[in-house]
């Protein structure tokens, strides 16, 4: 993940780009020498249809599981079934419990950079692609958590995918934030620090902007920020939604 793609949104914002070399030393593990996380392959997929904003129509179907099996192999199909069990088991739990389940769930993924997974410096994978590949970059964790929690009934207006600067690493990073109340300080769901903490306790993160299916906000301290338009201004988000629509048609 790099900072290049935000230049057309706010030219004045300066965030140090993600260094793949330093990421290999300071984030989780890739096979070349980074520390690995243990993998608990209970993953999530959201089957979505897009109509202005992203809306979910169905859960995992037998047909979709078979499609995933053909495209990615038997292990990915098993992960799809594990996702279905997680969704059904967690749907009636409290929002706080859902956050913990989903955050822990996806943080078992092994970190790889976009360059190593996709051969691109910036690529936002769909939850299905994450399941299929079995690897994730920071934005992939956040996006998968966001859509999973949406499907489990957490309101869209309580969540934002947030682009931040990881100050200790001097790198671009992405997290998911959750607002228990309208004016509250959000909780941060992160793959670097797996403990869910309020944003005022994450002094290692500097917010830049946030978005969800409903809009785009320029960060203001650690609150909700100032709305500046639609998330359609983010080209990688639009590309992600288009691929999710294609997947939903399988």
Q: Which of 13-17, 116-120, 163-167, 234-238 has the lowest mean pLDDT?
A: 13-17
pLDDT of residue 117: 94
Domain range for 207 is 4-248
Rg (CA), the chain: 17
Predicted local confidence at residue 12, as pLDDT: 39
**What was the pLDDT predicted at 250?**
77
Answer whether residue 24 shows pLDDT above 90: no
pLDDT digits (tens, 9 = 90+) for 170-183: 999 999 999 999 88
Instruction: Note the pTM of the prediction, 2 decimals.
Output: 0.73
Determine the Cα–Cα distance for residues 47 and 57; give it in Å rounded to an integer.
Answer: 7
Residues 6+ apart with CB under 8 A from 79: 41, 42, 43, 131, 134
The residue-averaged pLDDT of 121-125 equals: 91
**Whole-angstrom Cα distance, residue 43 to residue 106?**
7
Q: What is the CATH number of the domain that holds 125?
A: 3.10.620.30
pLDDT score at 230: 56
Rounded CA gap, 94 and 90, in Å? 9
More confident residue, 225 or 114: 114
Cα–Cα distance between 119 and 103 in angstroms, integer?
Answer: 27
- Comparing 8-22, 62-76, 115-129, 175-189, the range with the smallest average pLDDT is 8-22
| pLDDT surpassing 60 at residue 34 | no
- pLDDT, average across residues 28-47: 37
> How many domains, the chain?
1
The rounded distance, in Å, linking the Cα atoms of 198 and 213 is 22
Task: Check if the beta carbon of residue 211 is closer than 8 Å to that of residue 237.
Answer: yes
Looking at residue 156, what is its pLDDT? 92
pLDDT at 65: 87
- Inter-residue contact 107 to 191 (CB < 8 Å): yes
pLDDT digits (tens, 9 = 90+) for 51-97: 333 334 455 788 888 998 999 999 999 888 888 888 889 999 999 99
């Amino acid at each position: 993940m790099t900072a290049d793609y935000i230049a057309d949104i706010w030219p004045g914002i300066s965030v140090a780009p993600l260094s793949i070399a330093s990421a290999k030393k300071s984030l989780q593990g890739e096979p070349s020498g980074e520390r690995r996380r243990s993998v608990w392959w209970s993953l999530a997929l959201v089957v979505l249809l897009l109509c202005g904003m992203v809306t979910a129509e169905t859960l995992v179907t037998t047909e979709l599981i078979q499609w995933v099996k053909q495209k990615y192999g038997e292990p990915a199909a098993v992960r799809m079934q594990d996702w279905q069990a997680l969704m059904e088991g967690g749907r009636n739990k409290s929002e706080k419990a859902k956050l913990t389940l989903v955050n822990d769930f996806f943080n078992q993924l092994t970190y790889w950079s976009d360059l190593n997974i996709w051969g691109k410096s910036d690529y936002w994978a769909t939850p299905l692609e994450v399941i299929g590949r079995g690897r994730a970059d920071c934005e992939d964790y956040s996006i998968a958590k966001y859509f999973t929690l949406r499907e489990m009934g957490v309101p869209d207006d309580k969540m934002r995918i947030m682009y931040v600067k990881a100050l200790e690493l001097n790198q671009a990073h992405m997290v998911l934030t959750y607002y228990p109340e309208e004016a509250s300080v959000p909780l941060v769901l992160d793959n670097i620090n797996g403990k869910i903490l309020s944003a005022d306790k994450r002094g290692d993160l500097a917010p830049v902007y946030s978005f969800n299916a409903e809009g785009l906000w320029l960060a203001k301290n650690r609150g909700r920020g100032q709305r500046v338009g639609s998330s359609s201004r983010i080209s990688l988000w639009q590309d992600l939604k288009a691929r999710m629509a294609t997947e939903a048609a399988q």
